[in-house]
Amino acid sequence: MFNEAFNHGKKFTFDSDNLPDTDLTTFVNENGNKQFTVKAVFINPKSKFGPRPCVVCSTLKIWLPNHFLGDVEAILNNQDMIDAINNGKCGFVPSQYTDKNGVMRNSGKFIDI
Kindly report, residue by residue over 6-64, the tens digit of the pLDDT.
445 578 999 998 999 999 999 999 999 999 999 999 999 888 888 999 999 999 999 99
At 78 the pLDDT is 95
Its pTM stands at 0.86
At 13 the pLDDT is 92
At 47 the pLDDT is 81
39/15 Cα distance (integer angstroms)? 9
Query: Taking every pair of C-alpha atoms in the chain, what is the biggest distance, in angstroms?
Result: 49
CA angle, 74 then 78 then 79, to 5°: 155
Residue 85 has pLDDT above 90, yes or no: yes
At 10 the pLDDT is 77
